[in-house]
Structure 1
């Protein structure tokens, strides 16, 4: 069999190219640190690596989302801490203002301090995040959620929604609470609150004051019903309940004799498992004096921290220079202090919820970190290079290429003319 010189050269060149290709391939692997540089190197591992890499990218996105959620919750929690301090300070001022030894000037000074807390609360309620979005407006975060109306009262302009953010594949977490939840709500454990007011919302004209209300029988058939005590004359009253449209007198509590205006003894009025004590002289008749006894946060008495502050400021700024104004001062301060207690409990409850979500983020972060480690390890097992094997292979390919080169040189020098 005759082997031509062309065949020998082609065979040697092909061997050199193959050895050089293998050598370059292992060199590229060592340089990149990856065993699978191209999908053709290991199609199955490359395909699995794409899936793992995508899962890793999604996990990283959730990690970034948790950072954003943590920032929002931390800001909200910090603001609610300030709100808590403001409510406690306001309650302290009202306790101080309740002292009979204070003059009108003293109470006006307290009202000035209370105004400062009131404005501070409005500022905190309209706080923004680092991007200029209002924290407590729900999805309506491009405008202040709390604004002062023409009558000087603070009105909520946000919506009832809560902004949520997906912090993990299976967890959509609320990252903010709206203004209603924080400033216009009470905890479920809030009890009854009494308020001295007429039908038209104006203060009573008489000097009736109240103590309580106190819950005496939670098993009463009417327990949970809001009611009001309306004075039909100076010495009689009706107990009325709201039927959804109007206030109607309870049949067994109509034209009840009122004795709280006799001497120094207070009269107890009991209904629906609740007792309240009344003392003083009322002004009865059409649009006469009345005492509302309603569950905090109920239909008849919407909770509103700003309204509570406004009412307290009103009575402290006005001189208590007659019995009716003194009664209004005492009743309003009693009502306001109960409202502040409920508001404080509510803010603490919402703040605790925010803290619980922050703790949950820590747990989800730990799970996400473990998941990232697993993905990284799996990806490494699929495509990363074993340097010990690679270096050994590199040396082997280097020797093989050198041998091919030497063989080609030797074969190239062979010729029959050398033996002639």
Structure 2
């Protein structure tokens, strides 16, 4: 078959162009380090690679959120650890103030120390993250949550919002806790709180309240013990029972049973004196108010006031000690929650790192270049192109005149 010169040139040009294109593609793969230069090279592989890349990017975002949550929770744990120490110091001061040998000046000194602890506690409650965001303010993190008023009381100016962080695909976690749930709340199992009325004039001093019968139908109610005389009292609930309970004879130190609870009162209560036994939630849960009340009681002068003045101080200290214990238990509960969240973040970090490692390995299988194979193919293509070029030159020089 006769091949025209034009056909020969066209076929040679096409063959060398194909070889050059193949060689260029291998060169580009070597330069980019990937075997997929365009989606058209491997449509299915490109689609899978895009999905895996998105998964890796999301994993990086979750990892950043976990890092931020770990940072804020660690700062909260450090602050609550200091709060725990302060509350323990306050409990020790309350025990010290109950020493019957202390004079007014001694109790005033204890009150001054308690005021310092109160100021320190307020400072811890207003802890920020170093960027002007207060940890315990809820959503109102731009301003201090606990603000001292003109009368010396401390009020909560934040809210109960929870700043949630997306720390994993299906897990949102609170990075902090609001101040009300830490400093103005007690646990559901907190003990009863006993207190005496501010206007009591006798020397009656209440003891600890114990639970003796949780099956009592009146268990869980609040009680008021009212003395009609130094030898007679009435124990009634809030709201009052119907019919009203009958008066009972009072004997100093004898246990008084009411609604599955038992309490003893010593000393000599006066007519009109009242004592209240309330659930912890209804007895006042603001730890700042508790400390403020006991400071006022310790600053009250009672020297020369007889057993009646001493009874006021002892009752105030007993009430404060029970409330501080409940607040301390609540702080420990919150710290336990913080620790659990930190442990969960560690576990999620391990899971997330393993998932990212698996995704990166799969992505590498999809698109990373096998350099040994690519280099071998490069030399193969280069040799083929050189052979095509040399063949073209040799055949181009072939003519009948060379053999005449």
Query: Once the two structures are superposed, what CA deviation does each residue of 1:367-405 show, in whole Å capped at 9, x if it has no partner?
Result: 001100110011011111112211211121111111122
Counterpart check, 1:230 vs 2:226: yes
Shift of 1:47: 1.0
Q: What is the aligned partner in structure 2 of residue 185 from structure 1? A: 185
**Equivalent residues in 2 for 1:104-119 (5 A)?**
104-119=104-119
For 2:205 and 2:102, locate their aligned partners in 1 and report how far apart those are by CA, in whole Å.
Answer: 19
For 2:202 and 2:187, locate their aligned partners in 1 and report how far apart those are by CA, in whole Å.
Answer: 33
Could you tell me which of 273, 279, 284 is aligned with 2:266? Answer: 279
Could you tell me which of 375, 384, 390 is aligned with 1:400? Answer: 384
**Equivalent residues in 2 for 1:161-240 (5 A)?**
161-197=161-197, 202-240=198-236
Q: What stretches of structure 1 of length at least 5 have no aligned partner?
A: 261-265
Q: What stretches of structure 2 of length at least 5 have no aligned partner?
A: none
What TM-score does the superposition give when structure 2 sets the normalisation length? Answer: 0.94
For 1:130 and 1:368, locate their aligned partners in 2 and report how far apart those are by CA, in whole Å.
Answer: 28
Query: Once the two structures are superposed, what CA deviation does each residue of 1:17-63 show, in whole Å capped at 9, x if it has no partner?
Result: 21111112111212222111211211110111111111111111111
What TM-score does the superposition give when structure 1 sets the normalisation length? Answer: 0.91
For 2:245 and 2:370, locate their aligned partners in 1 and report how far apart those are by CA, in whole Å.
Answer: 91
Runs of 4+, deviation exceeding 6 Å? none
Residues 236 and 244, structure 2, Cα contact 8 Å, conserved in 1 = no
Shift of 1:277: 1.1
Residue 152 of structure 2: SS of its match in structure 1?
coil
For 1:190 and 1:308, locate their aligned partners in 2 and report how far apart those are by CA, in whole Å.
Answer: 16
For 1:151 and 1:324, locate their aligned partners in 2 and report how far apart those are by CA, in whole Å.
Answer: 28
Q: What is the aligned partner in structure 2 of residue 311 from structure 1? A: 293
Q: What is the aligned partner in structure 2 of residue 378 from structure 1? A: 362
Shift of 1:142: 1.9
For 1:393 and 1:23, locate their aligned partners in 2 and report how far apart those are by CA, in whole Å.
Answer: 8
**Equivalent residues in 2 for 1:68-79 (5 A)?**
68-79=68-79
Residue 208 of structure 2: SS of its match in structure 1?
strand
Query: Once the two structures are superposed, what CA deviation does each residue of 1:213-239 show, in whole Å capped at 9, x if it has no partner?
Result: 111222212111111112334443322
Residues 139 and 159, structure 1, Cα contact 8 Å, conserved in 2 = yes
- Larger mean CA deviation between 75-84 and 153-162 belongs to 153-162
Residue 253 of structure 1: SS of its match in structure 2?
coil
Shift of 1:267: 3.6
Q: What is the aligned partner in structure 1 of residue 12 from structure 2? A: 12
Shift of 1:358: 0.2
Residue 134 of structure 1: SS of its match in structure 2?
coil
Shift of 1:252: 5.6
For 1:3 and 1:351, locate their aligned partners in 2 and report how far apart those are by CA, in whole Å.
Answer: 91
Shift of 1:170: 1.1
Q: How many residues align?
A: 402
Query: Once the two structures are superposed, what CA deviation does each residue of 1:112-167 show, in whole Å capped at 9, x if it has no partner?
Result: 11111101111111111133111112122222211123332111122222221111
For 2:214 and 2:34, locate their aligned partners in 1 and report how far apart those are by CA, in whole Å.
Answer: 73
Counterpart check, 1:268 vs 2:255: yes
Residues 229 and 291, structure 1, Cα contact 8 Å, conserved in 2 = yes
**Equivalent residues in 2 for 1:6-405 (5 A)?**
6-197=6-197, 202-243=198-239, 248=240, 251=243, 253-260=245-252, 266-284=253-271, 288-297=272-281, 300-321=282-303, 322=305, 323-405=307-389
Residues 137 and 145, structure 2, Cα contact 8 Å, conserved in 1 = yes
For 2:5 and 2:114, locate their aligned partners in 1 and report how far apart those are by CA, in whole Å.
Answer: 107
For 2:241 and 2:47, locate their aligned partners in 1 and report how far apart those are by CA, in whole Å.
Answer: 79
Residues 236 and 256, structure 1, Cα contact 8 Å, conserved in 2 = yes
Residue 228 of structure 1: SS of its match in structure 2?
strand
CA RMSD after TM alignment: 1.8
Shift of 1:10: 2.5
For 1:189 and 1:415, locate their aligned partners in 2 and report how far apart those are by CA, in whole Å.
Answer: 109
